[in-house]
Chain A
Amino acid sequence: MFPQMGSVLKELETEAVYIMREAAAQFERPALLFSGGKDSIVLLHLASRAFAPAPIPFPLLHIDTGHNFPETIKYRDEAAQRYGVNLIVRRVQDSIDAGLVSEEVGPHSSRNALQTVTLLGAIAELKLDACFGGARRDEEKARAKERFFSHRNSFGQWDPKNQRPELWSLYSGRKNVGENFRVFPISNWMEIDVWQYIKAQGIPMPSLYFSHERPIVVRDGVPLAHTEFLSPIAGETVETRTVRFRTIGDATCTGAVYSTASDIDEVIAELLDSKTSERSTRADDRRSDSAMEDRKAKGYF
């Protein structure tokens, strides 16, 4: 079928599957946070392998900023169908309409931070007691401090200075009413592992990850997609370039990279040569040195 996985991927997969089964056993109402990005795609694939021949015992939850690439939405719907899993979508627009949050204004505005409110609202509404996330420790320095089973208080907040000890592979999901957990099965994976795994398992990927021509606006040195949500400001121009995305999130803050890598082997080769991190194109992380930690403390992914 597919080439045999090497020992590194096998060990990482074994760890991730164990954690998924453990969470499914310990929690009553888990959901898998699905963004359409590569990490959540891998998570979904792992879930299908972890529980086969039974169906995946939890739904997907997509927090939709409304600022999506159309390819992401198409992929999301197809993936839900392919894996036979229920898809729940909650929209940031609804939180805005309900007056729970207000839209940021100005050219740098993004709905990235607003997602937290919608996410916490969805957790409360759906009575979720655990959410699987595709966060990895090597992505970002605050994420390097995360547990596999990460406790959230009744306000959905992370208290990084007072985390529960996590020893051996004894993961405890015990909690009080109103509290919940984020579960990160691929914590120990590096970006290269994600792509090697995608290749080894033959997982179809959204076209955004491969090189294509696209009109872009270069802002602070980062090429951003020119979309209905993002227009050039004074001094910026729209140009068409060959790019791909290394990470996919909200279309307003996910930068592209100039690349001609058009298939998975070329993507892997490019990564092995890359001198910058995947999140270097994320405007949301560039806001401050502790941007990720600050957002996580409030309940972000």
Chain B
Amino acid sequence: MATEFNPDAEIIRISTAGSVDDGKSTLLGRLLVDTDSVYEDHFENLRRTSEHRGETEVNLALLADGLKAEREQGITIDVAYRYFSTPKKRFILADTPGHTQYTRNMITGASTADAAMILIDARHGMTEQSKRHAFITSLLRVPQVIVVINKMDLVEYSEEVFREIEAAFRVYSQRLTITNLSFIPVSALLGENVVTRSEKTPWYRGPSVLERLEELTPEAKRTPPDVRLPIQYVIRPDQNFRGYMGRLESGVIRKGDEMTVLPSGQSVTIRQLFELDGEVTEASAGSNVLVTFDREVDASRGDMLVRPRNLPTITQRIEAVICWMAEEPSSTAKPYVLRQTTREVSASLEEVVYRFEVETLHRDEVGSLKMNDIGRVVIGTGRPIFMDTYEHNRPLGSFLLIDPVSNGVVAAGMANRVNASEVSNASREKGLVVWLTGLSGAGKSTVSDALVDLLKREGLDAARLDGDDLRTGLNSDLGFTPEDRAENLRRSAHVAKLFANLGHITLCSFISPLNADRRKIREIIGDRYVEVYVRASLAECERRDPKGLYKKARSGEIRQFTGISSTFEEPESPDFVLNTEGVSIDEAVQVLANVIRKRLENH
């Protein structure tokens, strides 16, 4: 062996898979031996073992099978990683078995792959296994695919056989997302078209397997420009230094950048930015960074730093394709833990939408997924997660499901829709009516607007309902007589209730001055009602007078104006009193947000 070391070689990760007898291990053994990547003592071991087993030739497959049981049974059980280099490239090859737990192993290998090598036995053509591998390759969006049609020596290097298999593969893959596809006729056993081009296949003008491998590019690392920095680890070496470590999954960050911390929504500025060699002014995707902020914030592992105007989807409901990897089938009744980036949240499988029938690509309706099944599901999470689709941004769209009892990984998933298009049961339970009562100018609308933004950033479904909005439509037939005012509130309460039933945290800003009306509203809405008295003195409200209404009321231009010409009864038993005098809007909003969070926890 002669080791190659090109310090600037690109590292290319490849996954291989094949059926039991496709000759995959032989191909790998051949690549390793012919690229001079096998040490003499390893080869000598191999020769001895082959001889001991009564085989006439050195069995190259034994090189790839690391476990005793694999060598004994002549099968590959678990993913093994192999390394070889050429002057141009460094290859890390995930050798995934086509035997037991095949899907789970193929997905593992494909998850980090820049390219996939799919082996097909020329005598048998496309099998369920090769379809499965093509399907998984497409699902995990492995960007480059090489189909190695092996054992060509056993079909007299027939072009016709090769073209038939190629055509069948192309037909099948038309319904998948496979780009950059190439086919190579090979005899791994005899080394034809493995490293050098074969004279046995004059009709084939393409590259050998190794030549094709050398053309590959590290596609899997490609990510979009959106800044996504999950916080991984926090260090505090001394009182004055609090640093946040993490891998920048995508985008570029610079010293001085304004960032938003999710889920709190706090904004910070990057004061210092470090990579391993020290302080830098800029870092790009893939880098392990350490940042400090211009101010103290509450941020910890599982939180995420993003740019203020480029947020990921903040959601508690994911539509995803998952591969089930555990013996025990999936259950919609069991709790799971979802792990995505550095974040772990409780999760439940709300629905198995369908299972893919890999052979035909049909969609079967099933109640649960069994080991090696791939299906589309809906997942609800206990707390919000910050996600992009897998297609858009791999590190943000990939996740694991973990059984919290055994702690084993039970599924791997790829998000394909992360917007809360339908209301999940989990969020439906979060529906609430927060009824803000108080004088005009007390701050009801200001607080509710800011609160809706904050709650949305936390992934909660928040909506705002305002007396003024309803009066221009639904209640445009009503005036300002006491009866009409009561009717206005009655209708509004019913609308708010509908919102809450759909899972929205509904912030209602209505002066609603009378205890009798507020009692009625509480009755209509029931136990989802939270009454908040937004309190500021009349003098203060009049001083603020945001809409100029007090002025008009004092001049008599407006009649029956609450506080001036009609009564405002202080609420008898509000759930919370929010003082807005002498505090900032931010403070008031944070206080009220806490009230809502507590209320949701007690649900």
Within 8 A of A (CB), among B217-250: 232-233, 235-237, 241, 243, 245, 247
Query: What is the bound-complex CA distance between A280 and B41, given in angstroms?
Result: 6
Chain B, 456-487, contact with A by CB distance < 8 Å: what is the 0/1 string? Answer: 00000000000000000000000000000000
Query: What is the bound-complex CA distance between A22 and B402, given in angstroms?
Result: 17
CB distance from A179 to the nearest CB of B (A): 8
Chain A residues closer than 8 Å to B404, beta-carbon distance:
174
B107 pairs with A167, CB closer than 8 A: yes
B398 pairs with A25, CB closer than 8 A: no
CB distance from A38 to the nearest CB of B (A): 16
In the complex, which of the residues B9, B41, B325 contacts A276, with contact meaning CB atoms closer than 8 Å?
A: B41
Spot the interface stretch: A59-67, A88-96, A103-111, A141-149: A141-149
Residue of B nearest to A166 (CB): B108
Within 8 A of B (CB), among A17-37: 17-18, 21-22, 24-25
Q: Given A144-B66, A145-B67, A175-B407, do A21 and B232 touch, yes or no (CB 8 Å)?
A: yes
Q: Does B400 contact A (CB under 8 A)?
A: yes
In the complex, which of the residues A11, A164, A290 contacts B409, with contact meaning CB atoms closer than 8 Å?
A: A164
Q: Does B339 contact A (CB under 8 A)?
A: yes
A17 pairs with B81, CB closer than 8 A: no
B66 pairs with A141, CB closer than 8 A: yes
Query: What is the bound-complex CA distance between A163 and B398, given in angstroms?
Result: 20
CB distance from B520 to the nearest CB of A (A): 51
Chain A residues closer than 8 Å to B40, beta-carbon distance:
275-276
A145 pairs with B3, CB closer than 8 A: no
B412 pairs with A144, CB closer than 8 A: no
Within 8 A of A (CB), among B274-305: 276, 286-288, 301
Q: Does B92 contact A (CB under 8 A)?
A: yes
Chain B, 425-464, contact with A by CB distance < 8 Å: what is the 0/1 string? Answer: 0000000000000000000000000000000000000000
Q: Given A54-B235, A272-B2, do A160 and B67 touch, yes or no (CB 8 Å)?
A: yes
Chain A residues closer than 8 Å to B391, beta-carbon distance:
none
Q: Given A144-B66, A161-B78, A175-B407, do A168 and B395 touch, yes or no (CB 8 Å)?
A: yes
Size of interface on A: residues with Cβ below 8 Å to B:
62
Query: What is the bound-complex CA distance between A273 and B66, given in angstroms?
Result: 25
Chain B residues closer than 8 Å to A175, beta-carbon distance:
407
Which of A137, A138, A166, A167 has the most chain B CB atoms closer than 10 A to its own CB? A167
Q: Given A24-B233, A54-B236, do A145 and B41 touch, yes or no (CB 8 Å)?
A: no
A144 pairs with B80, CB closer than 8 A: yes
Residue of A nearest to B288 (CB): A17
In the complex, which of the residues B77, B342, B402 contacts A174, with contact meaning CB atoms closer than 8 Å?
A: B402
Q: Does B45 contact A (CB under 8 A)?
A: yes
Q: Does A234 contact B (CB under 8 A)?
A: no
Chain A residues closer than 8 Å to B78, beta-carbon distance:
145, 160-161, 163
Residue of B nearest to A143 (CB): B66
CB distance from B289 to the nearest CB of A (A): 11
Q: Given A190-B83, A293-B67, A293-B68, do A51 and B235 touch, yes or no (CB 8 Å)?
A: yes
Query: What is the bound-complex CA distance between A11 and B245, given in angstroms?
Result: 18
Shortest beta-carbon contacts, A-B, top 10: A6-B7, A141-B66, A277-B39, A54-B235, A280-B41, A174-B407, A167-B111, A54-B237, A290-B68, A25-B233
Can you name 16 extra interface pairs (CB under 8 A) apart from A50-B276, A289-B71, A293-B67? A6-B9, A7-B8, A8-B11, A13-B276, A25-B342, A144-B66, A145-B80, A160-B67, A160-B77, A164-B409, A165-B107, A167-B111, A172-B402, A275-B39, A280-B39, A293-B66
- Identify 29 residue pairs between A and B in the complex whose beta-carbon atoms are under 8 Å apart, listed by A's number: A6-B6, A7-B11, A8-B11, A17-B288, A25-B301, A25-B342, A51-B235, A53-B243, A145-B78, A160-B67, A161-B77, A163-B78, A165-B104, A165-B325, A166-B108, A167-B112, A167-B409, A168-B394, A172-B407, A174-B337, A174-B402, A176-B407, A187-B81, A188-B83, A192-B3, A196-B7, A275-B1, A276-B40, A290-B68
